[in-house]
Amino acid sequence: MSMSSDNQADWSFYEKSGLTPVINVSGTMTSLGASIAVSRAVEAVAGILPRFVFMHELQRMASDTIAEATGAEAGFITASASAGISLSVAATITGMDAGRAELLPRRPGEKCEAVVQLGHLCNYGAPVGQAAELAGARLVPFGQSTHVLDHQLQAVLGEATACGLYVVSHHVVGYGQMPLPRFAELCHAAGVPVIVDAASEYDLRRFLREGADLVIYSAHKFLGGPTAGIVAGRRDLVRAAYLQNLGIGRGMKVGKESIFGTIAALKAWAARDHDGIRRREAAALALWQKALAGLAGVRAEIVPDPTGNPLDRLRISVDSSAAGASAMAIGVALAGERPAVIVRDHEAELGYIQLDPCNLDAGHAEIVADRLRAVFESAAQGAVEEPDPDQLRNRSASGYLAWLEE
């Protein structure tokens, strides 16, 4: 779908392709194709696809761009942030030993433990721990889910520790965790490098400043790049992670288009009108808030991003006895509209859904306002069905299980 300059959504792509039209107010979701790529990334992808290049040269160019954007010594592009985690962990196990890299995940050796606080072992579509284990690492969780003390980390750091893994995300437990600067200080005191999964974080410099030796970002989330992952950090570790492409990294191969497209997205990010985008997002939130005003059992408030990204969302709390349907049912009903309106519903069991304005194309905000009002009105008339909560909870797996069934 092209960004049209007028206020009309352009749905012709969906008509021509036969795919279901989608408006994404849930955030950058793999299940929806991540994000709307910025035009400079789209042009870069199209420009390089029909040409040959020397891939090491292209990755060297990526390293320079990543270094400039993050303050890191070096960097490279891989298939996804998840791949970046696997390759980074592998780097701390093998260093620059190509023979050992080729043997992974077999024979990782004694020094193969990845220490991680228990509350960070989240699922972003797949378990983060598995991304480390793919490299042959042995996971060593420490602390309790909501209670992490210094001595618990110190007790698991030792000769066998290859790395400390740290996850920054709304998916991790939100309180009682060890902050990154302290995590890095304790790991470094034991001579252990720190890998930070910051896949979804806007701040490209903060985690390296706070002690990360390697940091990983997604190219296809806030940056609006093609599907790819960015690894940035210490030159020796970046080189060792890049080396893994002759081993486990092969199945995580990144194409020339994703590397060149990510370089373009990083450059576009530096030049982006962040204030203008925030103003547009704020206008969408205000429009939706107004559309919901006066509805019985509905409270709409603007809430900040839980990990501190410069992004606000609209939280719609639903009192089901007054509104005629639960927050969960409203979310399901909006997804059943055409275009499908996909809301942020991972906390719907707590009685609210959220609307994320960071992936709106022209005309989307108005359609969402309209659909919101309509779905709440039909809920008030008792016309919105309650979904099965267990079915919803299992949804991330059931989509894969049911695919090509019948």
Ligand X SMILES: *Cc1c(COP(=O)(O)O)cnc(C)c1O
> What does the binding site for ligand X look like in residue numbers (CB under 6 A)?
30, 80-82, 124, 167, 169, 171, 197, 199-200, 218, 229
Nearer to ligand X, 24 or 80 (CB): 80
**In the complex, least distance from residue 33 CB atom to ligand X, rounded to whole angstroms:** 11
Residues 263, 242: Cα–Cα separation, whole Å: 17
Closest approach, Cβ 59 to ligand X, in A, equals 17
* Cα 138 to Cα 179: distance, rounded to the nearest angstrom: 23
Quick count: other Cβ atoms within 10 Å of Cβ 136?
A: 23
Residue among 210, 206, 124 at smallest CA distance from 164: 210
CA-based Rg of the chain, rounded to a whole angstrom? 22
Nearest CA to 241 out of 81, 100, 75 is that of 75
Q: In angstroms, rounded to a whole number, what is the distance separating the alpha carbons of residues 189 and 217?
A: 26
Choice between 143 and 229, CB closer to ligand X:
229
Cβ–Cβ < 8 Å for 231, 86: no
Report in angstroms how near the CB of residue 292 gets to ligand X at its nearest: 28
Compute the half-sphere exposure of residue 170: CA atoms within 13 Å on the CB side of its CA: 15
Q: Say whether 342 sits in a helix, a strand or coil.
A: strand
CB of 128 to ligand X, least distance (A): 6
Closer to ligand X at the Cβ: 231 or 323? 231
Which CB atom, from 82 or from 326, has the smaller least distance to ligand X? 82
Which of residues 207 and 376 has its CB atom nearest to ligand X in the complex? Answer: 207
* Residue 168 CB-density burial (10 A; 0-12 exposed, 13-18 middle, 19+ buried): buried
Least Å from the CB of residue 28 to ligand X: 7
Torsional sign, CA 243, 247, 251, 257: positive
Q: Which is nearer to ligand X, 34 or 295 (CB)?
A: 34
For residue 202, the minimal CB distance to ligand X (Å) is 12
State the DSSP code for 291. H
Between 163 and 372, CB nearer to ligand X = 163
Q: How far is the CB of 262 from ligand X (least distance, A)?
A: 11
Task: Report the candidate in 37, 61, 67 with the shortest Cα–Cα distance to residue 260.
Answer: 61
